[in-house]
Amino acid sequence: MRGAPRGCGYHREHTSRRPPVNLLSWCEHGRSAHPVAGRLAGEPRLAGPSTIDASTLLVYVMDIYDPWSYAYLPSVSAVLSAACSLVDVEVVHAGRYAAQPFSALADSVADAALQTTARFGDDFLEALHSGRLTVDPTAAAAAMISLLAAEELPVSTVLAAVQHEFFVHGAPIEAPGVLSRVATDLGLDAPAVELFAGSTRAQELAAEDFEMAKDLDARGGPLLLASRGERLFEFDGLGASAERLVDQFRTVLTRP
């Protein structure tokens, strides 16, 4: 799959070839229980502060190993940070490269390097072109779910840490020792994070994310959505400025 992901129309309602997806219901019933950092298995997530708008959910659909999401992160981080105190934020892991040959990742990196301002580290490029770099999208998604489940850090902080390890140092999050190091650097309980990442439940959640991404037609690149009531809004894609995305998010909050 070559070339940049499609551009996203400003605040158009998101449409899909598949049946409509109720993201708020999915978040509430499918992703609310993560037994990490002291949580009990099956324990529902506690309600957020009273300032949280329960009618709105911000959803970022992405693949942690997608160079286009790496290029999009500086802009999307601004809206994720602006949203975290106002609405719930969820990450859906797309597993974009799960069913593609490894050459697809190398092609996407080459395209992203030419078409965006993203900069890739020498260690990453050497590992990529030498053939030493291997990734397991399902294990990576499970690791990300575990890191984010602690809910102790902004989503953008966790995404940036993991993508820096990969796209700068050439270290996949599922490689031996990497998840523990990242969790420790982030101030999380590394043994608990590793334990859940290797669990059957984390693998199941990763598979559910891949299916959700298919439902949202997001296999072609990062996708930022807002679910408000019965409506689903799509933000501008790669190339949009941080200010643009934050402005779009504020507009979504004014919609009935």
Residue entry with tokens 């970022």: 60
Q: What is the pLDDT of residues 116-162, one digit of tens each?
A: 999 999 999 999 999 899 999 999 999 999 999 978 889 999 999 99
Residue ranges of domains in the chain, CATH in brackets? 53-254 (3.40.30.10)
Q: What is the pLDDT of residues 192-219, one digit of tens each?
A: 999 999 999 999 999 999 998 888 865 5
Q: Please, which residues have CB within 8 angstroms of residue 197's CB and are 6 or more apart in sequence? A: 139, 142, 143, 145, 146, 147, 179
Strands 231-234 and 12-13: antiparallel
Q: Which two tokens stand for residue 115?
A: 């078409």
Q: Which two tokens stand for residue 43?
A: 């324990």
